[in-house]
Amino acid sequence: MSDKEMGTLQSFVVHPPVDINKMSSDEKLSFGYDLENGLGVYEQDYELARMVYLAAAGEGNERALNSIGLLYLNGYGVEADRDKAEEFFLQAADKGCMAAMVNLGDLAEEVKDYKRAYRWYQAAYTLGDVNGKFNYARLYHHGWFVEQDYSFAFRLFNELAIKDHDPRALSFLGLYFQNGYGVEVNEEMAFHSYLHGAEQGQRFCIHQLAECYAKGIGVEKDVSRAVWLLENAGKSGDSYAFRTLGCAYESGEGVKKSLYLAADYYRKGAALGDGVCMDALKRLEDPEKSDEEIYLGHIDDIDKELTPLVRKLMEFANRMGLKTGFINGPLGVFTTPVFNAAPRNRGAGEYVRLEHKISKLSVKNRMSEKRVEELFAGLKEEFSLSDKQLSVKRGYVYIEAVVLKDEKLFSRYLEIIHEIGRAHLPSGTKVVGVEEFLRSSEGA
């Protein structure tokens, strides 16, 4: 770094204006951080942040040198330059900056120079740096440059978790207790380590916690909980979670095999850029299949015994000229908007979930409010629905019911939905009773 770069900043234009030359080096460092990250009242500006860091570095601030190195390493406001980043890290480390020591260790580890990585991680750890300690423990865990020592690594990870409150260590503690690395196998401790890590957002812990629930490791087996954990992780941008679910449903490991659901999860993972999910989709998807074939294949996966009845519904809806398919399914006959069928991994797929959304239900409709309430009460009683499963919000009625493999029960459900839906079908739509529908379907 030249003397010119390290010199006093003569002019600095920001809004609101500040006199940077009246700031201490630590104040400059803090101000540079705000500019780099767009904090406070200032917009993000990497170039101005670098200028402020240079001013602080000119006054001997080692952390400012480290911050400049990170700008060069990541290409923020400058062209990415690994060598120049390392130069700034070395200057900072020589002045005792522990973060710079860890960064130098990371650079060495990237090129598998574990001897050099060990030297820098050890230096930071010796000075009391938590990141240095974590990476130092990792070297002993993997046996990189040093002889693998699970007992020593466990001691460090345990200190990190308990004393330093570092959630990253919980992933390793879980693995150690689960597999007996350096300690006796203790599945309950493994489960609780993963649980605490998952609660703090550690992705590996979330995946391992899902495995614990799926296989009953240290906790009562609960496959639905495992699926829920991975689905939520996927929704948070974790493509590997969707990949895991896709693989499980494709192979049938721990869940009822469903190529439809496997493809659905692979599709979600592919949308997040997961290459494995993209390849799996090419393997599973058949572009020549119609929506109806895909839909019925989905129902087949849920329960083959239900397929004939669902097929009757779809055939009837087609004859009525109503839209069918996976999103707008056959029960659109009875209500205006939406039907969805989705598997629930309980009792080996003995039932499906039917969800209706009946729009704009109010006293202005032909059905009295009292009659609607009576029908809803009947639904709740016959299908053991909770208030959460059947509710009225903002003029919309949401009904969620579980339908068993019982045609009489299924027919009764349709009768009730049919009566509610009668007031909402488009004008001119032919309305038939359930008995007539079943007769016509059988004769088709």
388: three-class secondary structure by DSSP: coil
Q: What percent of the chain has pLDDT over 70?
A: 60
Query: Does residue 432 lie within any of the structural domains?
Result: yes
CA dihedral angle for residue 99, residue 103, residue 109, residue 111, rounded to 10 degrees: -170
Residues 385-436: tens digit of each pLDDT = 566 555 544 333 444 433 334 455 555 555 555 554 444 444 444 434 444 4
The mean pLDDT value for 313-326 works out to 42
What is the DSSP code string of 117-137? HHHHHHHHHHTT-HHHHHHHH
Instruction: Note the pLDDT tens digit of each residue in 282-315.
Output: 888 664 554 444 544 544 444 444 445 445 544 5
Say if residues 53 and 5 touch (Cβ distance below 8 Å).
Answer: no
The Cα-based distances of 173 to 147, 167, 217, 240 in angstroms read 19, 10, 15, 22
Least confident of 168-177, 262-271, 349-358, 433-442: 349-358
Query: In sequence order, what DSSP letters do the residues of 329-347 get, joined into one string?
Result: -GGGGTSSSEEEEEE--ST
- Residue 351 lies in domain: 305-443
Determine what percent of the chain falls in helix, strand and coil, rounding each to the nearest 5.
Answer: 60, 5, 35
236-254: average pLDDT: 91
Q: Would the pLDDT of 83 be above 50?
A: yes
SS3 273: coil
Q: Strand, helix or coil at 3? A: helix
**What average pLDDT is seen over the chain?**
74
370: pLDDT strictly greater than 80: no
* Domain contains 228: no
Neighbouring C-alpha atoms within 13 Å toward the C-beta of 436? 5
Does residue 390 fall inside a structural domain?
yes
Asked whether residue 85 is domain-assigned, the answer is no
Please report whether residue 245 resides in a domain.
no
Q: Per the structure block, which two tokens stand in for 66?
A: 């480290």
Bigger pLDDT: 381 vs 396: 381
In a domain, 296, yes or no: no
The two three-digit tokens of residue 230, written as one number: 């991975």
pLDDT of residue 82: 96
pLDDT digits (tens, 9 = 90+) for 194-217: 999 999 999 999 999 999 999 999
Higher per-residue pLDDT: 119 or 409: 119
Token pair listed for 268: 């979600």
Q: Residue 72 domain-assigned?
A: no
Q: Residues 325-362: pLDDT tens digits?
A: 322 333 322 232 223 333 333 222 222 333 333 333 33
Q: What is the pLDDT of residues 40-74, one digit of tens each?
A: 778 899 999 999 999 999 999 999 999 999 999 99
* Residue 407 located in a structural domain: yes
CB 99 within 8 A of CB 86: no
Sheet containing 396-403: give its strands across.
338-343, 352-358, 396-403, 390-393
Please give the tally of structural domains in the chain: 1
